[in-house]
Amino acid sequence: MSIRVAIAGPRGKMGAEAVHTIMKHDKMELVAVLDYKEVGKTLADLEMFPASYTAPIFTDMHDLVEATAPDVLVDLTNPHAVYKHTKEALNLNVRPVIGTTGFTDAQLEELSAIAKEKDLGCIIAPNFAIGAILMMKFAKEAAKYLPDVEIIELHHDQKLDAPSGTAVKTAQLIQEVRATKMQGHPEEKETIEGARGAEFDGMRIHSVRLPGLVAHQQVLFGGDGQLLTIRHDSLNRNSFMSGVAFCVEEVMKMDQLVYGLENII
Ligand SMILES: NC(=O)C1=CN([C@@H]2O[C@H](COP(=O)(O)OP(=O)(O)OC[C@H]3O[C@@H](n4cnc5c(N)ncnc54)[C@H](O)[C@@H]3O)[C@@H](O)[C@H]2O)C=CC1
Ligand SMILES: O=C(O)C1=N[C@H](C(=O)O)C[C@H](O)C1
């Protein structure tokens, strides 16, 4: 039987790719999409999709679930909308697969508690690309031996959140294996505010935003007379799509919230 999938944010850069991915998948059916406008239309009414894409557009999650009974909601919207969508989906017994970044720790804890209470799978994946997950895993391993680390993430200039969800997740994974360490000179002073980047548990995160970039990150480790750089580049958004399809299948087998694909690959 097909997995019934709804997608929030279908007109976005990631959402549109995800629409094509689900439409092409032989074990999945795109039953609806959630947008903030165009209610009553179908994807086929939007110029960007072919006439064969007949999934209806909803602007209200309750209406969407009542009319189309999805098994899974894939959210690719923005940091302002995603928490509400995830909570609503869980409360309506729909399993969320969330690619949108920008959750607070308190929101993650609350959503985790709801998923647990309902025995429902929920995946929150700051990055769906296998190469990025390996980059994070390798960075965590390297930090055991080289605890001086700075993260540089580079993204397109339409990105709303900084630092990226991937950079935050990388820093959290490193924090698990590294004793807190304030890096740099103890008396260093920024002569222009922000020059040293964001501070996370003593390590620094730098965010670059430029047209032409997609999604890139390098993790730099410094040691005595040596440097190690671990870098990942997403050159297009197709790089995320096998991860999206993997999560839609996996979340059907789960009964709790998982934050980060490194926990399930
Ligand atoms: N986990 C991953 O591997 C990846 C995650 N992302 C994240 O996915 C999110 C989307 O990224 P992009 O597609 O580049 O952004 P985008 O700006 O191109 O698309 C966002 C879409 O969400 C829609 N939207 C906004 N509010 C909405 C609402 N209340 N209900 C329904 N739709 C709404 C917008 O109309 C827009 O079409 C971002 O948070 C980004 O960081 C992006 C790439 C990979
Ligand atoms: O906004 C993006 O583009 C991306 N967002 C995610 C993040 O914040 O880490 C994943 C990837 O880096 C692309």
238 lines ligand 1 (CB under 6 A): no
Say if ligand 2 is within 6 A of residue 163 CB. Answer: no
| Cα within 13 Å of Cα(70), Cβ side | 34
Closest ligand by atom to 240 CA: 1
Average pLDDT along the chain: 97
Give the model confidence (pLDDT) of 8-40 as tens digits. 999 999 999 999 999 999 999 999 999 999 999
Burial 111-120 (b: 16+ CB within 10 A, else e): bbebbeeeeb
In tens, the pLDDT along 199-248 reads: 999 999 999 999 999 999 999 999 999 999 999 999 999 999 999 999 99
Q: What tens digit of pLDDT does each residue of 54-71 get?
A: 999 999 999 999 999 999
Atom of ligand 1 nearest to the CA of 84: 29
Per-residue burial over 139-177, b = 16 or more CB atoms within 10 Å of its CB, e = otherwise: bbebbeebbbbbbbbbbeeeeebbbbbbbbbbbbbbbee
Please state the rounded mean pLDDT for residues 78-102.
Answer: 97
What residues contact 151, with CB distance under 8 A and at least 6 apart? 163, 167, 170, 171, 203, 204, 205, 206, 217, 218, 219, 220
pLDDT of residue 58: 98
- Residue 166 Cβ contacting ligand 1 at under 6 Å: no
Distances (CA, A) of 144 to 80, 123, 204, 249, 265: 35, 27, 17, 33, 22
| 35 and 103 Cβ atoms separated by less than 8 Å | no
Q: pTM score, two decimals?
A: 0.97
Task: Compute CA distances 207 → 143, 192, 197, 238, whole Å.
Answer: 20, 16, 8, 23
For the question of an ipTM over 0.90, the answer is yes
Distance of CA 120 to the CA centre of its chain: 19
The per-residue pLDDT for range 104-131, each reduced to its tens digit, is 999 999 999 999 999 999 999 999 999 9
pLDDT attached to residue 245: 98
pLDDT, residue 144, reads 98
Specify the ligand 1 atom closest to the Cα of 10: 37
